[in-house]
Amino acid sequence: MARLKTAIVGSGFMGRVHLEGVRRLGTVDVAAVCARRREAAEALASAFGVPRAETDLAAVLADPSLDAVHICTPNARHAPMAQAAIGAGKHVLCEKPLAVSAAEAAALVRAAEERGLRNCTCHNLRYYPMVQQMRAMREAGELGEILVAQGAYSQDWLLYDTDWNWRIDPEENGPSRALADIGSHWCDMAEHVTGLRITELAADLQTFHRKRKRPKGSIETFAGKTLAPGDYTEVEIGTEDFGAVMFRMGSDARGSFTVSQVSAGCKNRLSIEIYGTRGSVAWNQERPDQLWIGRRDANNEVLVKDPSLMNANARPWAELPGGHVEGYNDTFKQVFRRFYRSIADPDAEPEYPRFADGLRQMDLIEAALESHRTRAWVSTAGR
């Protein structure tokens, strides 16, 4: 495969994860790191031997030899940065949520299509081997007709009123917090695994901390946990710490999920349970190599990830032998590999979530915000 050149925009949690993920491919060179603060861009670039550190995205995009960019910045920066990259003719891999509104996301879908550029929304969690196993089992008919999808995405890192991050500031984050940040991953996974679309939903959101204490200095994701109590400003909070969503799916299926950033002890607990007429599956991101399989008339099983025991269609996502855990970082590698393969081969099918999938999540988030506001069920059809 021809060598490709890319740039990483954002030097925080995701910037580093993306940089490492790209490096694992072996066919893509990271030409530049771009961040808001020069020291941050330089620190990440020098830690990984990246030749260029920038604070100006336009200067990065002006490099004609650059094929693609990864956008790993706060949500409100996604659309303007992705539009700039598309305008410069670069393929774009953007973190989720794709934008802060469905209108922004729809404009990105159109812009990438018009320019014929590859585009990806980083719903990487689909690519845990056991999530692909659930999907392959459903496709093979092992679950029968889907009746119910349920689950939760719970974290604890915003439990205290002294916990702060740009996600709490709607200017940087957009109008939805927990739903946009983690609910978008849950819904993407539920629709991917079941092959069904959420058609209607009813949401109830809660902001437990109506006021939070904002540290006077800037901090990056999860770093707030280690701050000593000190210099804070009190800020009114309008975005949700928690949400409960009931939904209808496909023609007859039903489901529900909760999202929470205030659940003590839950570090990154995405759980999903799918119940069908022939069997069930349940998976929890905190134990990613285990899949519970439930049966009515036979013993239940726990399938421990082992490519030789997996459905053939799920096997390409499991690259290590049984007993060797494949986790969060590996899901990025899987997305990136397929993204760059599709750039190298213009005829390749894009086997990854695209901007259209990011738009889908923005539609669901806006439907949930509307439902909460109006205290009514909201149709997601035609959005």
Q: Which residues bind ligand NAD (CB under 6 A)?
A: 9-15, 34-37, 40, 72-75, 77, 95-96, 122, 124, 166, 181, 220-221
Report the residue number, 143 or 366, with the smaller CB distance to ligand NAD: 366
Q: Calculate the CA 358 to chain-centre distance.
A: 9
- Amino acid letter, 253: A
Min CB(123)–ligand NAD separation in Å: 7
Min CB(335)–ligand NAD separation in Å: 9
How many residues belong to the chain? 383
Min CB(374)–ligand NAD separation in Å: 27
Min CB(276)–ligand NAD separation in Å: 27
CB atoms within 10 A of CB 141: 11
Residue 254, Cβ density class (10 Å: 0-12 exposed, 13-18 middle, ≥19 buried): middle
- Phi/psi of residue 350, nearest 5 degrees: -75, 105
Report the residue number, 168 or 253, with the smaller CB distance to ligand NAD: 168
Report the residue number, 40 or 369, with the smaller CB distance to ligand NAD: 40
Min CB(165)–ligand NAD separation in Å: 7
> How many separate helices (H) and strands (E) can be counted in the chain?
11, 17
Min CB(259)–ligand NAD separation in Å: 13
Report the residue number, 77 or 138, with the smaller CB distance to ligand NAD: 77
Report the residue number, 152 or 249, with the smaller CB distance to ligand NAD: 152
End-to-end distance of the chain based on CA atoms, in angstroms? 39
Report the residue number, 34 or 50, with the smaller CB distance to ligand NAD: 34
Calculate the alpha carbon distances from 247 to 149, 370, 376 in Å: 9, 14, 12
Q: Which residue is nearest to ligand NAD (CB)?
A: 12
Give CA–CA dist 104/94, Å, rounded: 13
CB atoms within 10 A of CB 2: 9
